[in-house]
């Protein structure tokens, strides 16, 4: 685990710092940060989390600094999101071409053309076919099958009895950038991981992005079709079904047994309730209640959508 003094971090991201120095071993959100982590604040809707944060220090604008607990250090800047991006690079995993033979259970069948990073842990009865890459610190549960050319980036966790089809990439970087005042885009390093729970099946050529902080989750029993994109920090609940070309934007939460029809998609930072169905090509732009069926763009209840289509059809016939 990487660690830096707060003074070192401030020098690197060009923030003035005076006062007590502490060791920082990571970054996290206000609600999840520990006393050894750095956090940030750049959206007023999260102001209620400032008073209860346990972060050692928070990158924050001066006008909000008084809301922090007395034992949390305020790092004052007028560009907190940009400074977060600069700090994230310090804690990024070091990428290298080196590798070593994994720790492996019994009765595994591993093609000789599979490449491993360091500290890989594999359970019993695991089958990994040609062309796969298994990155540093990956864990794979027992009875799991990886078809050819699957890529698992560093620190991905795969459960037991999973099936992952050819060409799927799990743990690639989420799409996150901060923007300078002159319009340049600065990478926010994605320092979380992906957790795939037990009994999940993932189709061919899917992409599941690692989290910025914490984990992107695919919960147990979920089944993903081919050509699906799951963005960073999504949480796909237990026993969900997603048909081909579904796209989930960052921090989407699907509760259990949600069904997403082909080419349906969600905007980010919303929740779809348990046992909801979104019809094919549906566009979810706000959180939806469970146990209902939705269609259209923006997605509305299916019965209302059918009535609206009938009205349009009638209007066209009258012309």
Check 155, 165, 232, 239 and give the catalytic one. 232
Residues 176 and 188 sit within 8 Å (Cβ to Cβ): yes
What whole-number distance in Å separates Cα of residue 193 and Cα of residue 208?
10
The 3-state DSSP class for residue 227 equals: coil
Collapsed DSSP state (helix, strand, coil) of residue 27: strand
* 72: Cα within 13 Å, side-chain hemisphere: 28
Q: What is the dihedral of CA 256, 261, 262, 264, to 10 degrees?
A: -80
Do residues 127 and 114 lie in contact, with contact meaning Cβ atoms separated by under 8 Å? no
In which region does residue 246 sit, left (phi positive, over 0), alpha (psi from -120 to 50) or beta (all else)? Answer: beta
Among this protein's residues, is 154 annotated catalytic? no
* Residues classed as catalytic: 232
């Amino acid at each position: 685990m990487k660690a830096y003094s707060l003074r070192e971090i401030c020098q690197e991201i060009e923030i003035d710092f005076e006062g007590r120095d502490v060791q920082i071993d990571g970054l996290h959100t206000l609600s999840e940060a520990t006393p050894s982590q750095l956090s940030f604040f750049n959206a007023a809707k999260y102001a209620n989390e400032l008073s209860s944060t346990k972060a050692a220090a928070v990158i924050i604008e001066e006008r909000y600094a008084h809301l922090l607990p007395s034992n949390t250090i305020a790092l004052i800047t007028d560009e907190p999101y940009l400074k977060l991006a600069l700090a994230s690079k310090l804690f990024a995993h070091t990428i290298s071409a080196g590798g070593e033979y994994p720790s492996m259970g019994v009765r595994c069948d591993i093609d000789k053309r599979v490449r491993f990073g360091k500290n890989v842990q594999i359970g019993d009865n695991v089958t990994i076919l040609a062309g796969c890459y298994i990155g540093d610190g990956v864990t794979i549960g027992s009875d799991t099958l990886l078809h050819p050319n699957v890529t698992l980036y560093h620190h991905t966790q795969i459960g037991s009895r999973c099936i992952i089809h050819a060409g799927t990439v799990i743990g690639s970087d989420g799409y996150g950038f901060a923007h300078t005042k002159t319009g340049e885009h600065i990478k926010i390093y994605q320092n979380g991981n992906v957790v795939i729970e037990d009994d999940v099946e993932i189709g061919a050529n899917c992409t599941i992005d690692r989290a910025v902080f914490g984990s992107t989750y695919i919960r147990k029993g979920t089944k993903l079709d081919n050509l699906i994109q799951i963005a960073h920090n999504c949480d796909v609940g237990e026993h969900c079904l997603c048909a081909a070309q579904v796209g989930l934007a960052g921090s989407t939460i699907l509760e259990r047994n949600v069904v997403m029809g082909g080419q349906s998609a969600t905007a980010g930072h919303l929740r779809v309730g348990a046992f909801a169905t979104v019809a094919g090509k549906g566009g979810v732009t706000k959180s939806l209640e469970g146990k209902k069926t939705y269609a259209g763009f923006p997605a509305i209840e299916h019965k209302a959508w059918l009535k609206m289509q009938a009205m349009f059809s009638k209007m066209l016939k009258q012309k």
